[in-house]
Amino acid sequence: MIARVIVDVPSRQTDRPFDYEVPVELAGWVEPGSRVGVPFGGRVVQGFVIAIVDHADVDRSKLKPIAELLDHLPPLSPDLIELGQWISEKYCCPLTVALQAMLPSALKGKAESYVAIAPDRMASELFEPEWMHFIRQQGGEMKLASLQARFPDSALDVKAAIAEGRLTERVAIRDRLSVRKVLTVFPPVNREEAELALTAIPARAAKQREVLRYMIGQEDPIPLQALIETLSTTSSTVRALADKGLLVIQEVEQDRDPYAGRSFRRTEPLPLMEGQQQVYDQIAEALDVAEPRVFLLHGVTGSGKTEVYLQAIEHCLNLGKQAIVLVPEISLTPQMVERFKGRFGHEVAVLHSRLSGGERYDEWRKIREKRARVAIGARSAIFAPFERLGLIIIDEEHESSYKQEESPKYHARDVAVRRAKQHGAAVVLGSATPSLESYTAAALTGASSDGRGAALLPMPERVGGKPMPPVTIVDMREELRGGNRAMFSRPLYEGLQLRLERGEQSVLLLNRRGYSTFVMCRACGYTAQCPHCDIALTYHQKSRVLRCHYCGHAEGSPTACPSCESEHIRFFGTGTQRVEEELSKLFPGIRVIRMDVDTTTEKGSHEKWLTMFGERKADVLLGTQMVAKGLDFPYVTLVGVIAADTSLHLPDFRAAEKTFQLLTQVAGRAGRHQLPGEVIIQTYNPEHYAITTAQHHDYDSFVKEELGHRRQMAYPPYCRLILITLSHEQLPQVINAGDKLAALLRQSAEEVGALGEGGFSSRFIEILGPVASSIPRIKDRYRFQCMVKYRGNVDAVGIVREAVAAVARPQDKASVQISVDVDPQVIL
């Protein structure tokens, strides 16, 4: 039997299966999806079996055997392998990178060397070195690294011993994390016998008596540690009883449950509103026929999308299938999880990046071992290892965080559609502000069963006919003319004042992108820049440190200008910290919760702040994008946006779309319950269509206007993009490689005969660049980019793959690095 293995060496040359012999003792265990350790280039590396075949491509006698099998259940299934192949093709990345992305990081094993005393040397020798004696004490085998740590001078001797055959070396793949096992004490099986034994225990072993008596009275096994603590005894006492065969101590697998100790109030399905019912019926019908279908649920904020998701999932489970719910990382709050756990209890597995590696691994195993039927999580939860998927829900489908920014640069929305096709599952994309891509796909094509296009499901009204909150636009230029230089306009100031008086709550959004504090000298104009990246350093007030958000470089903040020695060096910008200060100045005693990257890095902090706010322990929730999504607090009656424009001027063709989405989302946080709400948006561009349409909650008008611009500039959804970024420490090298790449791309584009056929023909390809990236240097590497725009039946990815392969020389570490981003979301 021969196994085709994808080795975990991510490079272009190794991105193909290699054949290995399956040793007899592993036959029947090794299957497609198995994770194995295999010898490769003089090392042992981790790999995935993607197929079992009878004939090898090479001379069978030359095949090496698989060194070890890493899990008894294969972590990947054939459908996930196929999905990985699709990702690797579509997003131009090595297959192993795609496969590894599907698994919790705990399963990324690394090779470790072990040394063992050779079998014929097991009899202890008279004059052996201390380290050899030590290995013997360890049972004859131990980790090489541990031996070296203990005997740092032994390296040469150990090497010699291996060469002489006194020691053998073995390499094995070890997981970074493993199943957590807890030593557990089991009550005696035969209680009568134990009672008898109890009387036989001598009086001087009183502690043993006590432990045994206690265990006789127990129904369930108890963790050893807990037993020791309860009876204030020692492990040797318990072990003594185990040695006598009166108790059993065993390792028991235990889950690290991040939600342990929290109870979730059981909720019942609500009777659906008419709008919800219509949408639900269509989804339920698709689930019944089990055909792959895509729906775009366009429901305004507060229209009750989540209830529809919950009932659709219930229907899916009743059909004996499983469901995946994707939500953006920052919306995955306890509030959100609670809504799902409240309905489906412990059958919900939660997967997100704020869990520790171990917790993530355990949640993943819950799915793998069929203990969970619903997975809720961020982007990568799309790979939840379910076998019969019925439904995939993507909430806030327009969120750019569904696109992974590092390899594999996949979009979870596209992966979802593909996975649904494999399983005959339905996909529901939900949003109050659908991405233009999804919206045009749905509006133009409607539903079709081949998994392309989508059926539009509108929910234009809030639950119970609650009105959308009125939105006031404040022109900050007028404020300035009126003599107000503060960051709060008079209407926003008065609005906040009123909420404080009434004991209601406010949410303040600081749209912070590119808007953090920076350091500038007022005398000479010097700004503090990162020495490794062409970007200004951000000032962190608490630690008084300047930090680069791209490479992590940090330095103390200067007291005098490094350039002209003037003392007029100041911190500029309006970070959340400054808004917070301003609030306390204007409203003494105001209770503010600030949520931004600085206050939410600690594990659980995000949750802590939201719970506090929900319990009305603060008057204002102030934050970045994090406060815009999914929150549902009954006492929030004012939403203020401090500066709507900051995202409007980014060098990104989606700038207007992102601004509109953010404003609409944050406006939707107000007045969702009994109390009526109000929204105040401050801006320097009051007539911009992204702002005026958001004011009127008018998605259709926004889309119409925005599509006009996209069409004119030939941007998505009127074409597709591939962004190729080249980087190198030396500028001439990057420019050279960029020119070469662009020339090759143009040549292939010409060959397919669609080059420059203009913006509106059904088939075209256009090569832009090379130009310097908008951040021209990151981590001491210069960056240039080429952009491929294409439409219609053109294999642009194929063209790019070939051109990149011709320019990149990956075996040469000093060569230019090239990264390919298909359907990029961020173009910096």
Ligand X SMILES: Nc1ncnc2c1ncn2[C@@H]1O[C@H](COP(=O)(O)OP(=O)(O)OP(=O)(O)O)[C@@H](O)[C@H]1O
Sign of CA dihedral 441, 446, 447, 448: negative
Q: Which does 108 bind (CB under 5 to 8 A by kind): ligand X, Zn ion, none?
A: none
Q: How far apart are CA 698 and CA 471, in angstroms?
A: 12
Q: How far apart are CA 74 and CA 357, in angstroms?
A: 19
- Please report how close the Cβ of residue 440 comes to Zn ion at its closest, in angstroms: 38
Q: Any known ligand binding at 561?
A: yes
- Please report how close the Cβ of residue 310 comes to ligand X at its closest, in angstroms: 9
In Å, how far are 2, 31, 85, 96 from 15, measured between CA atoms? 18, 20, 11, 7
Q: Which does 270 bind (CB under 5 to 8 A by kind): ligand X, Zn ion, none?
A: ligand X
Q: Sort strands 569-572 and 180-186 into parallel, antiparallel or unpaired.
A: unpaired
Residue 771 host element (H or E): strand 764-778
Pick the closest to residue 420 from 79, 822, 89 (CA basis): 79
273 touches ligand X by CB under 6 A: yes
272 touches ligand X by CB under 6 A: yes
Q: Any known ligand binding at 719?
A: no
Q: Which does 305 bind (CB under 5 to 8 A by kind): ligand X, Zn ion, none?
A: ligand X
Which residue, 435 or 516, is less far from ligand X as judged by CB? Answer: 435
Pick the closest to residue 430 from 443, 422, 439, 441 (CA basis): 439
Q: What angle do CA 526, 528, 533 make, to 5 degrees?
A: 125
Give the position of tokens 């108790």. Answer: 247
How many residues comprise the chain?
A: 828
276 touches ligand X by CB under 6 A: yes
CB 510 within 8 A of CB 643: yes
Q: How far apart are CA 631 and CA 673, in angstroms?
A: 12
Q: Which does 276 bind (CB under 5 to 8 A by kind): ligand X, Zn ion, none?
A: ligand X
Pick the closest to residue 333 from 674, 680, 826, 669 (CA basis): 669
Which one of residues 11, 543, 566, 747 is an interface residue with Zn ion (CB under 5 A)?
Answer: 566
Q: Sort strands 554-556 and 545-547 into parallel, antiparallel or unpaired.
A: antiparallel
- Please report how close the Cβ of residue 535 comes to Zn ion at its closest, in angstroms: 6
- Please report how close the Cβ of residue 773 comes to Zn ion at its closest, in angstroms: 14
Q: Which does 739 bind (CB under 5 to 8 A by kind): Zn ion, ligand X, none?
A: none
- Please report how close the Cβ of residue 426 comes to ligand X at its closest, in angstroms: 18
Tell me the number of residues near Zn ion by CB under 5 A: 15
Give the position of tokens 């021209």. Answer: 776
Q: Can you give the C-alpha Rg of the chain in angstroms? A: 31
Which one of residues 283, 394, 476, 521 is an interface residue with Zn ion (CB under 5 A)?
Answer: 521
Q: Which does 432 bind (CB under 5 to 8 A by kind): Zn ion, ligand X, none?
A: ligand X
Q: Which does 307 bind (CB under 5 to 8 A by kind): Zn ion, ligand X, none?
A: ligand X
Find the Cα–Cα–Cα–Cα dihedral 714, 719, 720, 721, rounded to 10°.
-20
Q: How far apart are CA 36 and CA 48, in angstroms?
A: 6
- Please report how close the Cβ of residue 329 comes to ligand X at its closest, in angstroms: 15
Which one of residues 14, 34, 208, 303 is an interface residue with ligand X (CB under 6 A)?
Answer: 303
In which region does residue 697 sit, left (phi positive, over 0), alpha (psi from -120 to 50) or beta (all else)? left
* Segment near Zn ion (CB under 5 A); pick from 49-57, 216-224, 227-235, 560-568: 560-568
Furthest-apart CA pair in the chain: how many Å? 97
Give the position of tokens 């490769």. Answer: 40
In Å, how far are 283, 472, 623, 657 from 512, measured between CA atoms? 38, 21, 9, 16
Q: Phi and psi for 121 in degrees, rounded to 5?
A: -115, 15
β-partners of residue 786 are 724
460 touches ligand X by CB under 6 A: no
- Please report how close the Cβ of residue 269 comes to ligand X at its closest, in angstroms: 9
372 touches ligand X by CB under 6 A: no
Pick the closest to residue 284 from 417, 439, 422, 391 (CA basis): 391
Which residue, 343 or 688, is less far from ligand X as judged by CB? Answer: 343
Q: Any known ligand binding at 548?
A: yes
Give, as ranges, the residues between 513 and 532 that touch ligand X (CB under 6 A): none
Grouping H, G, I as helix, E, B as strand and the rest as coil, residue 391 is strand
Q: Which does 550 bind (CB under 5 to 8 A by kind): Zn ion, ligand X, none?
A: Zn ion
Give the position of tokens 């193909």. Answer: 16
Q: Which does 116 bind (CB under 5 to 8 A by kind): Zn ion, ligand X, none?
A: none
Which residue, 303 or 506, is less far from ligand X as judged by CB? Answer: 303
Q: How far apart are CA 388 and CA 38, in angstroms?
A: 31
- Please report how close the Cβ of residue 316 comes to ligand X at its closest, in angstroms: 18
Q: Which does 533 bind (CB under 5 to 8 A by kind): ligand X, Zn ion, none?
A: Zn ion
What tokens appear for 594 in the block? 């600030």
469 touches ligand X by CB under 6 A: no
Which residue, 283 or 533, is less far from Zn ion as judged by CB? Answer: 533
Q: How far apart are CA 502 and CA 182, in angstroms?
A: 53
- Please report how close the Cβ of residue 307 comes to ligand X at its closest, in angstroms: 4
In which region does residue 549 sit, left (phi positive, over 0), alpha (psi from -120 to 50) or beta (all else)? alpha
Q: How far apart are CA 159 and CA 142, in angstroms?
A: 15
694 touches ligand X by CB under 6 A: no
Which one of residues 270, 480, 564, 771 is an interface residue with ligand X (CB under 6 A)?
Answer: 270
279 touches ligand X by CB under 6 A: no
205 touches ligand X by CB under 6 A: no
Which one of residues 31, 79, 598, 632 is an interface residue with ligand X (CB under 6 A)?
Answer: 632
- Please report how close the Cβ of residue 288 comes to ligand X at its closest, in angstroms: 22
Which residue, 173 or 308, is less far from ligand X as judged by CB? Answer: 308
519 touches Zn ion by CB under 5 A: no
Which one of residues 34, 306, 489, 661 is an interface residue with ligand X (CB under 6 A)?
Answer: 306
Q: How far apart are CA 87 and CA 159, in angstroms?
A: 44
What tokens appear for 500 in the block? 């404080």
* Segment near ligand X (CB under 6 A); pick from 138-146, 300-308, 354-362, 386-394: 300-308
Which residue, 475 or 632, is less far from ligand X as judged by CB? Answer: 632
What tokens appear for 745 in the block? 């791309």
- Please report how close the Cβ of residue 253 comes to ligand X at its closest, in angstroms: 37
* Segment near ligand X (CB under 6 A); pick from 49-57, 297-305, 523-531, 685-693: 297-305
- Please report how close the Cβ of residue 395 comes to ligand X at its closest, in angstroms: 7
Which one of residues 29, 134, 493, 526 is an interface residue with Zn ion (CB under 5 A)?
Answer: 526
Q: How far apart are CA 709 and CA 279, in angstroms?
A: 32
What tokens appear for 291 in the block? 């055909």
Q: How far apart are CA 102 and CA 82, in angstroms?
A: 12
302 touches ligand X by CB under 6 A: yes
Q: How far apart are CA 811 and CA 9, in angstroms?
A: 12
444 touches Zn ion by CB under 5 A: no
Give, as ranges, the residues between 414 and 433 that touch ligand X (CB under 6 A): 432
Q: Phi and psi for 786 in degrees, rounded to 5?
A: -120, 145
CB 807 within 8 A of CB 738: no
Give, as ranges, the residues between 669 and 688 that touch ligand X (CB under 6 A): 672
307 touches ligand X by CB under 6 A: yes
305 touches ligand X by CB under 6 A: yes
* Segment near ligand X (CB under 6 A); pick from 210-218, 301-309, 503-511, 574-582: 301-309
Binding site as annotated, residues for Zn(2+): 521, 524, 530, 533, 548, 551, 561, 564
Q: What residues line the site for ligand X (CB under 6 A)? A: 270-273, 276, 299, 301-307, 432, 463, 630, 632, 668, 672
Q: What residues line the site for Zn ion (CB under 5 A)? A: 521, 523-524, 526, 530, 532-533, 548, 550-551, 553, 561, 563-564, 566
